[in-house]
Structure 1
Amino acid sequence: IDLIPTASKRSVGKKVLFHGNEITVCSLEDAVIENPHIAIFSAGTEVSIEWAPRFAERQTFVIDNSSAWRMNEGIPLVVPEINAGSINNNTRIIANPNCSTIQMVLALMPLHRNYGIRRVVVSTYQSVTGSGVSAARQLDDERKGVDGKKAYPHRIDLNLFPHGGKFLNNGYTTEEQKLVDETRKILDDNGIMLTATVVRVPVYGGHSEAINVELKNAYDLNEVRELLSDTPGITIQDNVEANEYPMPLYAEGKDDVFVGRIRRDESIPNGLNLWVVSDNLRKGAATNAVQIAEYLVTNKFV
């Protein structure tokens, strides 16, 4: 594998280690003329909008981690375990979903295929790492009693707030709207009713989600457990007698999505409750992108 590390002008010329060898970081201008088979973008929306089409024009498959292309018609929004088949040679740009969406749809997918989903209510408890390095530094500073730069409008240590992204005219935040729109696209069903509340919490290890699902058809709880357990990428942690359930403390650094507190919602017919946790920097971002790249190689797209 030949790696072409690429970054902004301030990092061009620096060295990175890859398989024990030092490789020089180059510019986007230099990288695109190398005609790479695959380019993984994680540089934000503006860079992606400008540069992803330029790489795609050279027949490079672009896997983009930003929100730039996710809702574009004709651009596949891919979680490989669910809809890798949406990738084809005519779509050179592939969108990586939002971190909180990925872990939720992985748990919802077997339910939707077997019973049909009518409605989803999700509340997320999202790690500071989902807001980037500056947010993690703010939490570090506050825990040390240091007055540093603020990534959030409020203190995050010993606190939480219902605010993820920017507020929209409908009262939702951008993070909440992504959960709604992206889930429908990935599951290929605009008829699913969804509502979301995003909460930022003072943890590093990953995102947690309380998911309430109303299914279209009756289900057996043991069958639900089996379906989830058999889903690639999901690990069941649901032994309440031993106080075992998913937590970001133990999800950190792991690629799987952890599901627990699986129980019937007794307030409505065909209701189900799940607690889902995953490392947002792994399956929520990097791991999913790498899995897409592996799919491209394994299926001889490159």
Structure 2
Amino acid sequence: MGYRVAVIGATGNVGREVLNILAERKFPADEVIALASSRSTGKEVSYGDKILKAKNLDDFDFTGVDFAIMSAGSTISKEWAQRIGATGCIVIDNSSYWRYHSDVPLIVPEVNAHVLDAYMANPKRQNIIANPNCSTAQLVVALKPLHDFARIKRVVVDTYQSVSGAGREGIDELWNQTKGIFVNDTATPGKFPKQIAFNVIPHIDVFMEDGSTKEEWKVMAETKKILDPKIKVSCTAVRVPVFVGHSEAVNIEFENPISADEARDILREAPGISVIDKREAGGYATPVESVGEYDTFVSRIREDNTIENGLNIWVVSDNLRKGAALNTIQIAEALIERGLLARKAA
């Protein structure tokens, strides 16, 4: 007897990836239901060797559903998450809406799955679990084992984020601008504030009063909530003309000594990480290699001699997978593996 899983936003980029990964990982589901808005009702999506027709979220009864994986944006999450959770269904939300609520856990299973134990034991829980920002997810997977060894004081991270992080419109804009430039068309910005083809844009999400963007603030706030509130975090987020895969240049200052060799050995043994770190041409990971992979890749591990106990690392991951779809499914798997959710489906 398996679980009943509803995928909300099933016709979008992340929703389709959720369905792919559920099938790939052979998630113990008796039934998977594709849900979407009224305008997408009836659209067909793939789930393994099956074709599902999207049902209308507005009309769906969540009674008896074990997991609702939400990938439909903050507005839908705000409206629906509590209503779904009240039925006893566990909502795993990909949007940013619930991440910063003090009573909603923000989970990356390789880092803080233990938080789920206390949450599920709380009879007043809302049955909502938040998934972090795509850049944060891969960052904390790489930081966690290093933090356990030498205690991190400060992190400075520059993100190089692919256009798929902005959804289908971002992918289409890069594709159309790239094609257009080769035939002398004007690369008119639409989804992005400036031309994205053959360019980089140091601006993701809205600007805040201190000059940071909301994306940069998310990385800071979420890293503290997931990993350690004492860590100081500075971030610059940049959109780059890459279709899939986020990259990060990370400078880390530790309380205690740690060498590059020690860090390399620690990361090789850590869950969810592949170390590709040869000091030669091509001996490192790039976004292209990360596409379709579950792991977060760490390369360019080296000591920073400008600070005491400093390291530099390069972190790459498929943002549609570990940054979104994969992590939500790993949260559901963690709940099952830790014995925190009994099957409701008959």
Query: TM-score, normalization: structure 2?
Result: 0.84
Q: Deviations 1:71-102 (Å, cap 9, x if unpaired)? A: 10011100011111111323410000000001
Q: Deviations 1:135-194 (Å, cap 9, x if unpaired)? A: 11111011111667711111011110110111111100011000000000001x222111
**Cα displacement (A) at 1:29:** 3.4
Report whether the alignment pairs 1:36 with 2:65.
yes
Structure 2 letter corresponding to 1:162: P
Structure 2 letter corresponding to 1:53: Q
Q: Deviations 1:221-280 (Å, cap 9, x if unpaired)? A: 322111111111100010013531110111111111000100000101101100001110
The structure 2 residue matched to 1:275, chosen from 311, 314, 322, is 314
CA distance in 1, matches of 2:130, 2:205: 19
Report whether the alignment pairs 1:101 with 2:136.
yes
Checking the alignment, whether the CA contact within 8 Å between 1:32 and 1:54 is kept in structure 2 is no
Structure 1 letter corresponding to 2:170: A
Counting only pairs closer than 5 Å after superposition, residues 112-191 of structure 1 correspond to structure 2 as 112-145=147-180, 150-187=190-227, 189-191=228-230
Checking the alignment, whether the CA contact within 8 Å between 1:208 and 1:276 is kept in structure 2 is yes
Structure 1 letter corresponding to 2:225: K
Q: State the secondary structure of the residue aligned to 2:80.
A: helix
Distance 1:123 1:149, change over 3 A: closer
Structure 2 letter corresponding to 1:165: D
In structure 2, what is the equivalent of residue 204 of structure 1?
Answer: 243
CA distance in 1, matches of 2:295, 2:246: 12
Q: Deviations 1:45-92 (Å, cap 9, x if unpaired)? A: 010011000010011100000000001001110001111111132341
Structure 2 letter corresponding to 1:105: V
CA distance in 2, matches of 1:17, 1:202: 28
CA distance in 2, matches of 1:206, 1:36: 32
Report whether the alignment pairs 1:72 with 2:101.
yes
Structure 1 letter corresponding to 2:94: N
Structure 1 letter corresponding to 2:138: Q
**Cα displacement (A) at 1:19:** 4.4
**Cα displacement (A) at 1:298:** 2.5
Distance 1:193 1:22, change over 3 A: closer
Checking the alignment, whether the CA contact within 8 Å between 2:189 and 2:195 is kept in structure 1 is no
Aligned residues: 301
CA distance in 2, matches of 1:10, 1:253: 29
Counting only pairs closer than 5 Å after superposition, residues 247-258 of structure 1 correspond to structure 2 as 247-258=286-297
CA distance in 2, matches of 1:130, 1:81: 22
In structure 1, what is the equivalent of residue 255 of structure 2?
Answer: 216
Structure 2 alignment gaps of length 5 or more: 1-29
Structure 2 letter corresponding to 1:134: E
Q: State the secondary structure of the residue aligned to 1:182.
A: helix
CA distance in 1, matches of 2:204, 2:45: 33
CA distance in 2, matches of 1:76, 1:295: 13
In structure 1, what is the equivalent of residue 35 of structure 2?
Answer: 6
CA distance in 1, matches of 2:302, 2:33: 47
CA distance in 1, matches of 2:53, 2:314: 43
Q: Deviations 1:26-47 (Å, cap 9, x if unpaired)? A: 2223333443100000000010
Checking the alignment, whether the CA contact within 8 Å between 1:129 and 1:136 is kept in structure 2 is yes
CA distance in 1, matches of 2:46, 2:318: 24
User: Which sits farther off after the overlay, 163-172 or 17-26?
Assistant: 17-26
Could you say what the CA RMSD is over the residues aligned between the two structures, in angstroms?
1.5
Counting only pairs closer than 5 Å after superposition, residues 230-241 of structure 1 correspond to structure 2 as 230-241=269-280
Checking the alignment, whether the CA contact within 8 Å between 2:259 and 2:303 is kept in structure 1 is no
Q: State the secondary structure of the residue aligned to 2:114.
A: helix
Q: State the secondary structure of the residue aligned to 1:260.
A: strand
Checking the alignment, whether the CA contact within 8 Å between 1:208 and 1:275 is kept in structure 2 is yes
**Cα displacement (A) at 1:125:** 0.7
Structure 1 alignment gaps of length 5 or more: none
Checking the alignment, whether the CA contact within 8 Å between 1:115 and 1:219 is kept in structure 2 is yes
In structure 1, what is the equivalent of residue 76 of structure 2?
Answer: 47
- Which consecutive segments of 4 or more residues in structure 1 shift more than 6 A? none
Query: TM-score, normalization: structure 1?
Result: 0.95
Q: State the secondary structure of the residue aligned to 1:6.
A: strand
